[in-house]
């Protein structure tokens, strides 16, 4: 537990070794296990990726998926954080609101698809399919954000609130200078979790309703019996997911860097 | 420094605590913590409150600061009933209450938010100098030692120019060496600013080194048992006879037999 963390070179080398081992196991199993013989090998996948990268379909799909995630996620942040602050700060609001939030949370975001279609299926000023997907992403990221913010705000150390009261700091100043910064570490963890879920869910949402995006590309490739394209798109999804997560983690570190060992 | 004990007792009183009772209602029933506390704190004096662990020292201080409501009785400061916290009387916490998300400068300026920048900067820098943290104004609490954090906390409290400082075991989280150093600092700062200081501690030696008068509390439900005068000149040497005599007297009142 207390060993010093390995340096960046070691970390990178270990990751490369892990991927190499994974690719090797993948290659060997599709070559020698009869049950897996129709699964594309790493080389097939790589070839399909380079094929995809030359056309603009891959880029269009990435943009479509990222666009939906960005909208859904930002809406969830904009509504979820204020709601979470309210639930965390006002005990009565929490007593009333939190059970509802906790009851809705375990419903898979995909289960909301019929409701999304019902609500937004006739949208004209925007692509209806886009709005439906955005709504599902919103649902997927909203609950982790509200839950994290509520718990962060309700567990703020008493002494910070007392200090603020002692120095006559109240109202909006109290929120900006004490409550939000005190809750920030936990909120950021919630945002990172929510973005991860959003990226998982967007693929599922796109497999169901819409005609674009990475999820749709997986379906489309399957329908054309191009399983090498399926694994290629899966690889792209993995890379973008990693990039999103490391971007969030950078934001987290940059925000909390000077606060000390607890979060740095 | 200390007014003579036989002077008119109500003349210089800053804080008057009269027959204060405090009961906490908990799930397991009511807990009576304070039972008829009477205490007069003189203007600009340094008063220490000592007592057995868990007797209600922090509770009394919280009530005097306006953080807790008293059940019956009254607490008046300058003749006005205390009902809520106020920047006129600032609390210094044991586990430092400074904000880890602000720099030293922002922490010390926390209570001065409505002030123009120039004026605020001047005040903040004055107190940074007073507590000996020159050059650390841009540092964050995580980059400071425990003693330095405590200095920031003192500077933040002093910057709003309060009448009263409440110190609830302000050195409790510090190591023994830093604690000695901070005691000396507090004596110096008190000498420079002459705020009314009320110190809660269970370190009798600390109380004798710092305070003009020492109030001894009883077991819970607590009252003030005695208030002892401590007119020794500062700095006070724990090896001197008066110091040791007072220490023995307080331990005697607390009912602790001192071996050796
Ligand atoms: N908010 C509260 N609710 C219920 N009981 C409380 C509350 N605050 C304090 N008490 C009880 O009141 C008693 C006195 O607590 P207090 O913290 O004032 O003691 P203290 O003299 O400061 O102790 P210590 O020397 O350990 O700091 C304790 O028995 C404690 O359990
Ligand atoms: Mg205490």
Residue B54 Cβ contacting ligand 1 at under 6 Å: yes
Gap between the Cα atoms of A124 and A131, Å rounded: 10
pLDDT of residue A126: 76
**B253-256 LR contacts (CB < 8 Å, sep 24+):** B253/B216, B253/B225, B253/B226, B254/B50, B254/B51, B254/B52, B254/B204, B254/B216
Q: Chain A 148-167, CB below 8 Å of chain B: which residues? A: 159-160, 162-163, 165-167
**B91: β partners:** B166
Confidence class for position B1, pLDDT limits 50, 70, 90: very low
Within a domain: residue A211?
Answer: yes
Q: Tens digit of pLDDT for each residue in A94-130?
A: 999 999 999 999 999 999 999 998 988 887 777 888 8
Within a domain: residue A145?
Answer: yes
User: Shortest Cα distance from A260 to chain B (angstroms)?
Assistant: 4
Domain count, chain A: 1
CB A97 within 8 A of CB A87: yes
The arithmetic mean of pLDDT across residues A15-40, rounded, is: 94
Q: Tens digit of pLDDT for each residue in A183-196?
A: 999 999 999 999 99
Q: Tens digit of pLDDT for each residue in B66-117?
A: 999 999 999 999 999 999 999 999 999 877 789 999 999 999 999 998 899 9
Within a domain: residue A1?
Answer: no
Within a domain: residue A24?
Answer: no
Residue span of the structural domain in which A168 resides: 43-263
Residue B150 Cβ contacting ligand 1 at under 6 Å: no
pLDDT of residue A37: 87
Confidence class for position B6, pLDDT limits 50, 70, 90: very low
Within a domain: residue A23?
Answer: no
Within a domain: residue A233?
Answer: yes
Tokens, residue A168:
């006559």
Task: Tell me which residues have their CB within 5 A of the ion that is ligand 2.
Answer: B 58
The arithmetic mean of pLDDT across residues B116-126, rounded, is: 95
Residue whose CA is closest, atom 28 of ligand 1? B54
Gap between the Cα atoms of B257 and B260, Å rounded: 10
Within a domain: residue A15?
Answer: no
pLDDT of residue B55: 92
- The strand order across the sheet containing B29-42 reads B29-42, B13-26, B72-77, B80-81
Which ligand does the CA of B57 lie closest to?
1
Q: Which residue has the tokens 């071996």?
A: B259
User: Shortest Cα distance from B81 to chain A (angstroms)?
Assistant: 16
Q: Of residues B259 and A179, which shows the higher confidence score?
A: A179
Within a domain: residue A9?
Answer: no
The CATH code of the domain that includes A158 is 1.10.3720.10
Confidence class for position A223, pLDDT limits 50, 70, 90: very high
Confidence class for position A1, pLDDT limits 50, 70, 90: low
């Amino acid at each position: 537990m207390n060993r010093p963390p390995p340096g960046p070179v070691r970390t990178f080398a270990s990751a490369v070794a892990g991927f190499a081992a994974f690719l090797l196991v993948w290659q060997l199993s599709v070559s020698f296990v009869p049950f897996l013989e129709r699964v594309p090998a790493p080389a097939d996948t790589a070839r399909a990726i380079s094929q995809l990268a030359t056309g603009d379909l891959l880029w269009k799909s990435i943009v479509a998926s990222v666009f939906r995630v960005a909208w859904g996620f930002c809406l969830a942040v904009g509504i979820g954080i204020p709601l979470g602050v309210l639930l965390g700060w006002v005990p009565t609001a929490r007593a009333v609101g939190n059970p509802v939030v906790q009851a809705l949370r375990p419903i898979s975001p995909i289960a909301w698809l019929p409701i999304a279609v019902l609500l937004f299926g006739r949208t004209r000023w925007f692509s209806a399919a886009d709005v439906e997907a955005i709504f599902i992403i919103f649902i997927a990221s909203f609950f982790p954000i509200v839950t994290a913010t509520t718990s962060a705000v309700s567990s703020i150390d008493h002494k910070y609130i007392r200090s603020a009261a002692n120095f006559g700091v109240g109202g909006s100043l109290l929120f900006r200078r004490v409550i939000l910064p005190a809750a920030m570490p936990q909120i950021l963890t919630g945002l990172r979790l929510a973005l991860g879920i959003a990226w998982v869910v967007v693929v599922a949402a796109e497999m169901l309703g819409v005609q674009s995006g990475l999820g749709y590309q997986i379906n489309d490739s399957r329908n054309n019996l191009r399983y090498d394209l399926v694994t290629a798109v899966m690889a792209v999804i993995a890379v973008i997911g990693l990039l999103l997560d490391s971007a969030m983690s950078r934001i987290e570190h940059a925000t909390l860097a000077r606060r000390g060992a607890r979060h740095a | 420094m200390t007014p003579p004990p036989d002077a008119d007792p109500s003349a210089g009183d800053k804080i008057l605590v009269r027959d204060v009772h405090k009961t906490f209602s908990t799930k397991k029933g009511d807990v009576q913590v304070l039972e008829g506390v009477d205490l007069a704190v003189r203007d600009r004096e340094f008063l220490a409150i000592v007592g057995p662990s868990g007797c209600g020292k922090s509770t009394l201080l919280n009530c005097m600061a306006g953080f807790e409501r008293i059940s019956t009785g009254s607490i008046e400061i300058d003749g006005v009933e205390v009902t809520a916290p106020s920047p006129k009387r600032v609390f210094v916490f044991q586990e430092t209450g400074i904000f880890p998300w602000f720099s030293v400068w922002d922490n010390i300026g926390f209570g001065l938010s409505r002030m123009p920048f120039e004026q605020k900067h001047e005040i903040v820098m004055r107190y940074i100098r007073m507590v000996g943290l020159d050059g650390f104004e841009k540092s964050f609490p995580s980059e400071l030692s425990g003693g330095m954090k405590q200095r920031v906390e003192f500077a933040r409290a002093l910057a709003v120019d309060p009448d009263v400082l409440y110190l609830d075991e302000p050195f409790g989280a510090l190591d023994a060496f830093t604690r000695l150093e901070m005691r000396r600092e507090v004596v110096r700062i008190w000498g420079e600013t002459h705020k009314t200081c009320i110190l809660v501690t269970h370190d009798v030696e600390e109380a004798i080194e710092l305070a003009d008068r020492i109030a001894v509390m009883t077991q819970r439900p607590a009252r003030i048992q005695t208030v002892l005068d401590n007119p020794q000149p500062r700095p006070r040497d724990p090896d001197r006879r008066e110091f040791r005599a007072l220490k023995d007297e307080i331990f005697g009142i607390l009912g602790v037999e001192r071996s050796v």
